[in-house]
Every structure is written in structure tokens, then in C-alpha cells.
């Protein structure tokens, strides 16, 4: 979205703005049709039919206004979020229809949508469409000066172009014709010059009505927080269960076995020292295995390099142990908070595991940087692409876990192309620890 | 042989002290934190240091940092690092200066006193003692790469044992082959890794370094 804006030169944006404005204005036509349909449907609510008709129309309208939001975001850089409150689960039957209709009608955003479709046809003519109109009027001037003026006057007609009266004798009057062309060029230039500005004005107008209000922003935030909190609680509960099971089946069982062996050794010590020696060797082996298992367990909870050195070196260490030997680029001036650091580490670890398992890649690149309060991690592989968020890749799970920290995950994976997984986690970096050496 | 020891757990520290003393080492200093370790290393200049990675006050890789810093000031100071975990990253950092005299072992290797003391002696003599776990994790992730892809499985096994710091005789014993066969394998390894004919000991360290650092 913003990348398109960034790649565009100023010249490009001036050239394109009038036509973008025109496209936005054209959108107001289907919007007006929908608004008429909505008014008719609303008037039939009393008859009952309206209850069935209103929701699909409102939803279609939301879809259309999403196009506005999208285009305005792309062309003016004004990001407009969807303002709609989360609706109730749809229940079948008449009751469900009534509920859905009421929920949609009680959402203030629906009424703001309606206000938009009524007001926009007027507003867009004076903002978004204006540059395109100026350009077209300029082109008309060129045509008049070129041949159309001559044509019209020769049939006895006459028109005004700005202050120039195109009338009898116009074809022979080179001075006036040049003046017409120059005026036309001026109009075209004016259209292109004012294009981006007027589009920006239109963008602000869009934000005013299409964007969320403080209330809906809060409602959306509460919904997001509730969801991510549930996920966080579920994840940590599952994690605790796994640790408990690992301890129970692993180290704990081995310690019990060792205790029993030691008891047996105590008995055997005098009677059968040879057997006791054998048992001692086994017991030592058991203790080594128990240590090994505990070590693996701790590594899974909090990897030592992460604790010692932070995210950069921890991911480097991860890369060293990975069969694909990823190349790691780190640009972090400090350390994020421990929970964020840990979430980011395990996310990268899981993405790498995925890459090794599914992508068929030969090379992997990891890039980590922090700017503008955002930790950004990109993992790119040259595998066969075609990865999806679902389909057992575990990406959905990563998305959920970093969601707890308001992190987002983006996936680009065209079939046959590179797979790029991008993580963004808002966080501050603490200043680097002073080396003790 | 004079030893500086750094370990923050009093029980383990005393255990190590008595273990080393009973094997004829002289304990120059036994410390329990990073800053005093660095000071002890620079003051005493021991024949070998036995260092726990995680030390107070920060309980991060303080021991490792102190050991690395001491080696920057006293090149080639033999250091055996002990840790609850072995990390390739740390192994590389320890070996990076290429001057040998480095050991990196899991703490539970202390259980086997004879092998542990052997490892300390090897490190003190300028050799290497890498934990089998470091080596096996390296093997798991590295064998696709050149030039290690060209080594035969047997040669990789030999290199693995060499990296642990074993002599040809010990390698022969471990693989149940003759020492002559091991000599042949090591010569092949040196050839394939492009290590020039020089003192055998030095080449062994270089082979391990190449192995860890390529």
C-alpha cells in the first residue's frame, strides 16, 4: 500500500492524480444505486421484508466503501481502518435475521456509511473529480483551437471557452486560436498541479466519515485484546502441560529409577560388588540422560544464548544449528523486553523449521531490524513457494502468539517463487548492556 | 600445573577443587564471579583456566566474556570452558583467534574424572577439547557444505574425534581400527581441507578450526 506511494515519483503522482480522482468519483454511482436500494429496503422494514433485505445491502455497501478505503489509502497515504463493530454470531431462523438486522442498524458506522453515499457525489465533484474536469476542459480547448472551433463556426454555431467567444470568423483568427490553445494548456497544467492536493483533501474527507470513531476504535481494540488474551492464556496453559508431561515422563522418572538403583546397590555392595559396580555405571548413565533431557527442556523454555546475548546472537546460534545455514543480518541497537524477545525468537525458530520441512529451499535469509518503534523480522527462502497461512504450516499459530504483543505476520509466497515471511512487533529497545569484560 | 577455577556454585567449586588437587593440580585461585575471574587470570597467568560460562553478577555469559578478554590480553592462554549447554556460536568465538588451547565441555563431563582431567591436560598443552555434543550438532548441520561434503563418512568420524581432542591412538581405539588406518584418514582429511604439511599438532587444531569456522 504505502510502498506504491513511496516508489512513485512526484511527477508520477501529478500525472496520475486526475484519473484517480475520476475513478473515485465514478465509484459514487454504484454507491448511489446502493443507497436508493437501502432506502427502499428500510421503508419495507415495517412490512417485514426489509429485515431480510437490509443486511445484504448494508454489507454490499460496506464492501464498496472498502474499495474507497483501499484506494484512498493507496493514493493519498491516508490509511483508513474499517470502523464496523463486530456483529453477533449468525443464528439461523427468523430470530437470527432480526438480530443481524438490528445489530447492523445499531452500528453507528452504518449510518455514517449512508451519510457518505449521500454526500460524496457532491463532495467528490468539487474535490476528487475537479482535476480530471480541468484536464478534460483543457483538452477541449486544444481541440477547439485545433479544428473543432473552425468546424462549429462553419456550421453557424458558437461556444464560449473561458473568456473567448468562438464565433464567426474564428477559423481565420490565428491569434485567438493560439490563445485558446494556451488557455487549454493552462487548464491541463492546473488540473495536474492541483491533482495530488485535491486528492489529499478528498482523503481527509474520506477519513472523516469512513474511518472509525473513537467509540468503534475502542470496541475493536477490546475485541482484539480479548481474543489475544484468550490465545495467550491457552498457549501458556498448553506450554505448562507440555513441560509437566516432559518432566513427568523424563527427568522425574529417571530420578525415581536412579533412587531405586541406588537402593539396590546399597544391598549388593557387600554381597555382589561386581553387580553393584555394573548398576553404578547404569545409574550414572541415567543421571546423564536426565541432565540431557532437562537441558533440552530448558532450551525449549528459554534458550541460553537468548538469555545471555539477546535476540541477534540467539538467532545466529539458531542459524548455526539449522541444516540450511541461513544468512543472518541483524541491526538492533539494544534488546526488546524479554517476552517480546522470546516470542520473536520462537517465531523465527518455527519459521525456519517450516522452511526446512516444506519449502524445498536451498538458501534462507534472515533480516532483523528495529526502526520507528517496530521490530521487523524478514525470513526469505528460495524454495518452491505456495505456502499458505493455514494448511498445517503453523504460521497461523505464530500469528496468534505474536498477536499477544500486537505483532502482525505477513506472508508472500507465490507458487514457484520466494517465500517471504515478515513479522512486525511494536516494541522499544532497552540500551545495550555494558560489557563486563 | 597451576589452575584458575571459576564456578559460582560453592558445592561444585569445592568438588572441582578437590578433584583437581587429587590429580596433582595446584589451584592458583578459585573465584565465583566474572570480574574477579578476569583479574585472577591476568594476575596469576595460570597454566590452564577452568571456567563456568554463566557467572554472577549478570548470570549471563560472563565467564565466557572474561575468558575471551583474558585471551585477548594474553594470547593463547589455555582455557577450558564448562557449561550446562554447549552452543556452536560460543565454540566458534572461543576458537576464532586460532591459537588453540581451548576446551568447551558440558558440565556433566566432570562425572568422568579421568577423561575430564585428560581434557584439561590437552588444553593446557595447547590442544583442543570440544564436547562431543558440539561436534555432533555441527555434523548434523554441516555435511552438505564444501569441502566437508567431500569427506567420506569414516573421515568425518575421525575428524569428529579429532575435534574432541583425541590422539590418533585414542581414535584408533574408539573406532576399532589400527593406528595406521587412522594416520591414513587424517592425512586424507588434511589433504581435502587443503592444510599444508606442517607440524601435525598444529594441523590438527587447524582442521578443527576449519571444521568449526568455514
Number of domains, chain A: 3
What pLDDT is recorded for position A311?
A: 94
What pLDDT is recorded for position B140?
A: 65
What pLDDT is recorded for position B205?
A: 64
Specify whether A78 is located in the same domain as A113. Answer: yes
Specify whether A61 is located in the same domain as A95. Answer: yes
**Cβ contact A288–B111 (<8 Å):** yes
Name the residue among B197, B106, B192 with its Cα closest to residue B156.
Answer: B192
B26: left (phi over 0), alpha (psi -120 to 50) or beta: beta
Alpha-carbon distance of A436 to B81, in angstroms, equals 18
* Selected residue of B52, B56, B89 to mutate for chain A interface (largest A Cβ count, 10 A): B89
**How many Cα atoms are found within 13 Å in the side-chain-facing hemisphere of B115?**
16
With cut-offs at 50, 70 and 90, classify the pLDDT of residue B211: low
Is residue A272 domain-resident?
A: yes
Is residue A390 domain-resident?
A: yes
Which residue in the set A284, A288, A320 is minimally distant from B89, CB to CB?
A320
What pLDDT is recorded for position A251?
A: 85
Q: Which three cell numbers stand for residue A262?
A: 541406588
Residue B145 near chain A (CB below 8 Å): yes
Q: Which residue matches cell numbers 569441502?
A: B147
Alpha-carbon distance of B81 to B34, in angstroms, equals 13
pLDDT tens, position by position, B44-94? 999 999 999 999 888 889 999 999 999 999 988 999 999 988 888 888 888
Contacts B57 to A, Cβ<8 Å: 436
Distance from CA of B57 to the nearest CA of A (A): 9
Q: What is the CATH number of the domain that holds A332?
A: 3.30.565.10
Specify whether A309 is located in the same domain as A297. Answer: no
Which residue in the set A288, A298, A308 is minimally distant from B108, CB to CB?
A288
Name the residue among A124, A149, A96, A117 with its Cα closest to residue A38.
Answer: A117
Q: How far is residue B97 from each of residues A262, B63, B66, B69, measured CA to CA in Å? A: 46, 17, 15, 12
The domain locations on chain B are: 2-130, 135-213
Specify whether A2 is located in the same domain as A127. Answer: yes
Specify whether A243 is located in the same domain as A387. Answer: no
Phi, psi of A432 (to 5 degrees): -60, 145
> How far from chain centre, in Å, is Cα A165?
55
ipTM score above 0.85: no
Which residue in the set A316, A317, A436 is minimally distant from B34, CB to CB?
A436
Which residue in the set B54, B85, B90 is minimally distant from A295, CB to CB?
B85
Is residue A318 domain-resident?
A: yes
As a whole number of Å, the end-to-end CA separation of chain A is 47
Specify whether A69 is located in the same domain as A87. Answer: yes
Contacts B54 to A, Cβ<8 Å: 304, 308
Contact present, A380 and A353 (Cβ < 8 Å): no
Contacts B114 to A, Cβ<8 Å: none
Contact present, A82 and A66 (Cβ < 8 Å): yes
Residues B32-57 as b or e (16 or more Cβ within 10 Å = b): bbbebbbebbeeeebbbbbbbbbbee
Tally C-beta pairs within 8 A across A and B: 62
Q: In chain B, pLDDT over 70 holds for what percent of residues?
A: 85
Contact present, A220 and A406 (Cβ < 8 Å): no
Q: In chain B, pLDDT over 90 holds for what percent of residues?
A: 37
* DSSP state letter for A61: H
Residue of B nearest to A310 (CA): B60
Specify whether A275 is located in the same domain as A142. Answer: no
What pLDDT is recorded for position A4?
A: 47
pLDDT tens, position by position, B109-137? 887 888 899 999 989 988 888 888 877 77
Is residue A8 domain-resident?
A: yes
Specify whether A231 is located in the same domain as A291. Answer: yes
Residue B111 near chain A (CB below 8 Å): yes
Tell me the pLDDT of chain A (437 aa) as tens digits. 444 445 567 788 888 888 888 888 888 888 888 888 888 888 888 787 878 888 888 888 888 888 888 888 888 877 888 888 777 777 777 778 888 888 888 888 888 888 888 888 888 888 888 888 889 988 888 888 888 877 888 887 778 887 888 777 777 777 888 888 888 889 888 888 888 888 888 888 888 888 888 887 888 888 889 888 998 898 889 889 999 998 888 888 888 989 999 999 999 988 999 999 999 988 988 888 888 888 888 888 888 899 889 999 999 999 888 888 899 999 999 999 999 999 999 999 999 988 888 888 889 999 999 988 999 999 999 988 888 887 666 888 888 889 889 999 999 988 888 899 999 999 998 876 544 33
The helix/strand count (H/E) of chain A reads as: 15, 7
Q: Does domain B2-130 have CATH number 3.40.50.2300?
A: yes
* Count of beta carbons in the 10 Å neighbourhood of residue A157: 12
Contacts of A433 (CB under 8 A, 6+ apart): A335, B58, B60
Distance from CA of B85 to the nearest CA of A (A): 7
Is residue A170 domain-resident?
A: no
Which residue in the set A295, A313, A433 is minimally distant from B84, CB to CB?
A295
CATH of domain B135-213: 1.10.10.10
With cut-offs at 50, 70 and 90, classify the pLDDT of residue B147: low
Q: Which domain holds residue A261?
A: 224-301
Residue B108 near chain A (CB below 8 Å): yes
Specify whether A269 is located in the same domain as A386. Answer: no
What pLDDT is recorded for position B144?
A: 56
Specify whether A9 is located in the same domain as A57. Answer: yes
C-beta contacts of A403-408 below 8 A and 24+ residues apart? A403/A224, A403/A227, A403/A228, A403/A231, A404/A228, A404/A229, A404/A231, A404/A232, A404/A235, A404/A343, A405/A339, A405/A340, A405/A343, A406/A228, A407/A343, A407/A344
Contacts B61 to A, Cβ<8 Å: 308-309
Q: How far is residue B153 from each of residues A7, A409, B178, B185, B192, measured CA to CA in Å? A: 52, 41, 17, 11, 13
Which residue in the set A295, A305, A320 is minimally distant from B141, CB to CB?
A320
Specify whether A333 is located in the same domain as A246. Answer: no
Is residue A175 domain-resident?
A: no
A60: left (phi over 0), alpha (psi -120 to 50) or beta: alpha
What pLDDT is recorded for position B29?
A: 93
Residue B180 has pLDDT above 50, yes or no: yes
Contacts B88 to A, Cβ<8 Å: 317, 320-321
Tell me what the pLDDT averaged over chain B comes to: 84
> How far from chain centre, in Å, is Cα A326?
26
Work out whether the CA dihedral B100, B101, B106, B108 comes out positive or negative. Answer: positive
Say what the pTM is: 0.69
Contacts B108 to A, Cβ<8 Å: 287-288, 291
Specify whether A228 is located in the same domain as A343. Answer: no
Amino acid at each position: 500500500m504505502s510502498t506504491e506511494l513511496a516508489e512513485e515519483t512526484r511527477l508520477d503522482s501529478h500525472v496520475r492524480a486526475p484519473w484517480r480522482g475520476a475513478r473515485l468519483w465514478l465509484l459514487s454511482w454504484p454507491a448511489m444505486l446502493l443507497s436508493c436500494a437501502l432506502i427502499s429496503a428500510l421503508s419495507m422494514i415495517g412490512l417485514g421484508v426489509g429485515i431480510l433485505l437490509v443486511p445484504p445491502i448494508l454489507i454490499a455497501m460496506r464492501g464498496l466503501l472498502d474499495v474507497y478505503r483501499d484506494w484512498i489509502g493507496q493514493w493519498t497515504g491516508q490509511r483508513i481502518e474499517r470502523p464496523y463493530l463486530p456483529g453477533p454470531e449468525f443464528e439461523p431462523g427468523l430470530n437470527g435475521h432480526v438480530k443481524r438486522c438490528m445489530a447492523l442498524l445499531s452500528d453507528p458506522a452504518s449510518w455514517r456509511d449512508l451519510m457518505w453515499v449521500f454526500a460524496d457525489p457532491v463532495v467528490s465533484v468539487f474535490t476528487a473529480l475537479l482535476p480530471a474536469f480541468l484536464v478534460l476542459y483543457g483538452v477541449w480547448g486544444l481541440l477547439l483551437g485545433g479544428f473543432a472551433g473552425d468546424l462549429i463556426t462553419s456550421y453557424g454555431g458558437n461556444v464560449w471557452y473561458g473568456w473567448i467567444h468562438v464565433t464567426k470568423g474564428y477559423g481565420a483568427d490565428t491569434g485567438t486560436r493560439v490563445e485558446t490553445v494556451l488557455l487549454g494548456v493552462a487548464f491541463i497544467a492546473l488540473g495536474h498541479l492541483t491533482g495530488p492536493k485535491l486528492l489529499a483533501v478528498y482523503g481527509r474527507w474520506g477519513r472523516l466519515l469512513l474511518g472509525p470513531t473513537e467509540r468503534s476504535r475502542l470496541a475493536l481494540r477490546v475485541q482484539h485484546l480479548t481474543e489475544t488474551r484468550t490465545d495467550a492464556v491457552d498457549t501458556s496453559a498448553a506450554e505448562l502441560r507440555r513441560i509437566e508431561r516432559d518432566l513427568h515422563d523424563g527427568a522425574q522418572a529417571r530420578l525415581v529409577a536412579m533412587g531405586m538403583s541406588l537402593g539396590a546397590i546399597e544391598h549388593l555392595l557387600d554381597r555382589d560388588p561386581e553387580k553393584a559396580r555394573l548398576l553404578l555405571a547404569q545409574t550414572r548413565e541415567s543421571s546423564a540422560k536426565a541432565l540431557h533431557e532437562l537441558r533440552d527442556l530448558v532450551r525449549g523454555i528459554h534458550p541460553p544464548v537468548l538469555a545471555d546475548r539477546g535476540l541477534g546472537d540467539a538467532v545466529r546460534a539458531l542459524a548455526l544449528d539449522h541444516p540450511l545455514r541461513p544468512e543472518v543480518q541483524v541491526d538492533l541497537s539494544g534488546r526488546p523486553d524479554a517476552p517480546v524477545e522470546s516470542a520473536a525468537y520462537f517465531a523465527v525458530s518455527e519459521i525456519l523449521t517450516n522452511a526446512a520441512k516444506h519449502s524445498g529451499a536451498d538458501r534462507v535469509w534472515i533480516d532483523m531490524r528495529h526502526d520507528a518503534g517496530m521490530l521487523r523480522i524478514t525470513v526469505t527462502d528460495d524454495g518452491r513457494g505456495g505456502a499458505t497461512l493455514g494448511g498445517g504450516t503453523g504460521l497461523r499459530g505464530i500469528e496468534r502468539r505474536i498477536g499477544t504483543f500486537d505483532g502482525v505476520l505477513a506472508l508472500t509466497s507465490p507458487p514457484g517463487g520466494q517465500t517471504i515471511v515478515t513479522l512486525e512487533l511494536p516494541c522499544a529497545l532497552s540500551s545495550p548492556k555494558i560489557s563486563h569484560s | 600445573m597451576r589452575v584458575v577455577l571459576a564456578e559460582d556454585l560453592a558445592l561444585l567449586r569445592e568438588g572441582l577443587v578437590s578433584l583437581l588437587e587429587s590429580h596433582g593440580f595446584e589451584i592458583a585461585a578459585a573465584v565465583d564471579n566474572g570480574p574477579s575471574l578476569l583479574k585472577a587470570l591476568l594476575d596469576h597467568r595460570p597454566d590452564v583456566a577452568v571456567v563456568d560460562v554463566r557467572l554472577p553478577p549478570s548470570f549471563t555469559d560472563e565467564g565466557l566474556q572474561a575468558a575471551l578478554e583474558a585471551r585477548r590480553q594474553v594470547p593463547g592462554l589455555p582455557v577450558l570452558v564448562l557449561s550446562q549447554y554447549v552452543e556452536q556460536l560460543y565454540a566458534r568465538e572461543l576458537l576464532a583467534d586460532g591459537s588453540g588451547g581451548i576446551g568447551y565441555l558440558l558440565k556433566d563431563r566432570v562425572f568422568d574424572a579421568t577423561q575430564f582431567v585428560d581434557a584439561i591436560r590437552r588444553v593446557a598443552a595447547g590442544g583442543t577439547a570440544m564436547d562431543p555434543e558440539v561436534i555432533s550438532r555441527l555434523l548434523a548441520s554441516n555435511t552438505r557444505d564444501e569441502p566437508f561434503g567431500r569427506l567420506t563418512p569414516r573421515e568425518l568420524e575421525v575428524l569428529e574425534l579429532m575435534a574432541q581432542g583425541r590422539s590418533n591412538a585414542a581414535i584408533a581405539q574408539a573406532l576399532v581400527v589400527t593406528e595406521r588406518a587412522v594416520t591414513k584418514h587424517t592425512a586424507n582429511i588434511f589433504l581435502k581441507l587443503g592444510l599444508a604439511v606442517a607440524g601435525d599438532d598444529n594441523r590438527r587444531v587447524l582442521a578443527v578450526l576449519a571444521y568449526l569456522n568455514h
